[in-house]
Amino acid sequence: MVNSYRPKYLNEALKIRGEKNVIPLAGGTDLMVRFRNISGAIPKFDKPVLFIGHLDELKNIEIENNFVKIGSSTTLTSLLDSENIPSILKSAISNMAAPTIRNIGTIGGNICNASPAGDTLPPLYILDAKIVLSSIDNQRIIPIDKFIIGPGRNDLKDDELLTKILIPNKKFNKEFYKKLGTRKAMALSKISFAGLAEIEDDKIEDIRIAFGAVAPKIVRSRTIEQEIIGHNINEINELSYSIVKEYSEFICPIDDQRSSSIYRKQISIKLLDYFLNNLDNI
């Protein structure tokens, strides 16, 4: 039985994906753990593996039509090295794992893994990232929050690969990112917070807020953001109590080996409060 495929080109990979029941492997940093075997033995995959991490067509970063277009097999390290990647996404990546994992782990793998603690996700949500899903004869583009449907679940079809991530090339003059883990490196998020804002003459022209690891999916509320937009930053002090209360309804973390639900909830609210009340000096 063939147990792996290593295509030379993307088209070949898409053809194999359409014809065979395979599991795509980009960097393998999630998959090697998911399919780990007894110590010393090679991982036990339940399907043939389709290697895609080496495909040049999936590894470029370019600016086109006011979008940053990132190939799905771009490594986390390459994203950190690129001047075209939004700094809030870089802040999240520089807090992920350690250089060894970042050298092989990819952005596409982090997205497809669909973990509520996936660290690229909160920045990608607030950057309004879109996902390009390709099969041999079709392509669809969907917002990232529609692609991720639950913990470990995404909207990828059996014949598709995630090929590109599109990020609108919009600038913000305020940003704040914070990840809390058990230690500084090699630790998954207990909670993460990403905030972006555009402030002009003390008025909030745009604001975007996302929380990671506090619910089955990343928490972002466009409705609450719209309620904040248009206010002057010195009005936020009065409003922050009700804003925090509204977000609290969406923040429903679990207890697990990394943290307690109470800690996660309290800290996420503190981070939100800090962001809202420091828009003038972050």
Ligand X SMILES: Cc1cc2nc3c(=O)[nH]c(=O)nc-3n(C[C@H](O)[C@H](O)[C@H](O)COP(=O)(O)OP(=O)(O)OC[C@H]3O[C@@H](n4cnc5c(N)ncnc54)[C@H](O)[C@@H]3O)c2cc1C
DSSP 106: B
Q: Which residue's CB is nearer to ligand X, number 101 or number 215?
A: 101
CB of 233 to ligand X, least distance (A): 32
Q: Determine the interface stretch with ligand X among 8-16, 106-114, 218-226, 240-248 (rule: CB under 6 A).
A: 106-114
Residues 43-62 that bind ligand X (CB under 6 A): 52
State how far the alpha carbon of 95 is from the alpha carbons of 9, 25, 110, in Å. 32, 23, 14
CB of 225 to ligand X, least distance (A): 24
Q: Which residue's CB is nearer to ligand X, number 212 or number 233?
A: 212
Tell me, residue by residue from 128 to 167, as one string, x for binding to ligand X by CB under 6 A and - for no binding: ----------------------------x----xx-----
Q: Which residue's CB is nearer to ligand X, number 86 or number 118?
A: 118
CB of 13 to ligand X, least distance (A): 9
Residues 13-32 that bind ligand X (CB under 6 A): 23-31
DSSP 42: P
CB-side neighbour CA atoms (13 Å) of 136: 13
- Rounded CA gap, 204 and 69, in Å? 28
Which tokens is 141 given? Answer: 């583009």
Per CB under 6 A, the list member of 86, 109, 122, 123 interacting with ligand X is 109
User: What single letter denotes the amino acid at residue 248?
Assistant: S
Per CB under 6 A, the list member of 55, 88, 96, 271 interacting with ligand X is 96
Q: Which residue's CB is nearer to ligand X, number 30 or number 175?
A: 30
Per CB under 6 A, the list member of 63, 141, 142, 186 interacting with ligand X is 186
Q: Which residue's CB is nearer to ligand X, number 174 or number 178?
A: 178
Per CB under 6 A, the list member of 74, 91, 110, 259 interacting with ligand X is 110
C-alpha angle 210/215/220, rounded to 5°?
A: 25
**Strands across the sheet containing 191-200:** 174-180, 191-200, 203-212
- Rounded CA gap, 210 and 196, in Å? 9
Backbone angles phi, psi at 218, to 5 degrees: -60, 140
Nearest to 50 by CA among 77, 79, 28, 30: 28
Backbone angles phi, psi at 131, to 5 degrees: -115, 130
Cα 7 to chain centroid, rounded: 27
Number of other CB atoms surrounding residue 134 within 10 Å: 22
Q: Determine the interface stretch with ligand X among 94-102, 170-178, 231-239, 263-271 (rule: CB under 6 A).
A: 94-102
Binding site for ligand X (CB under 6 A): 23-31, 33, 52, 72, 96-97, 101, 105-106, 108-110, 112-113, 118-119, 156, 161-162, 186, 188
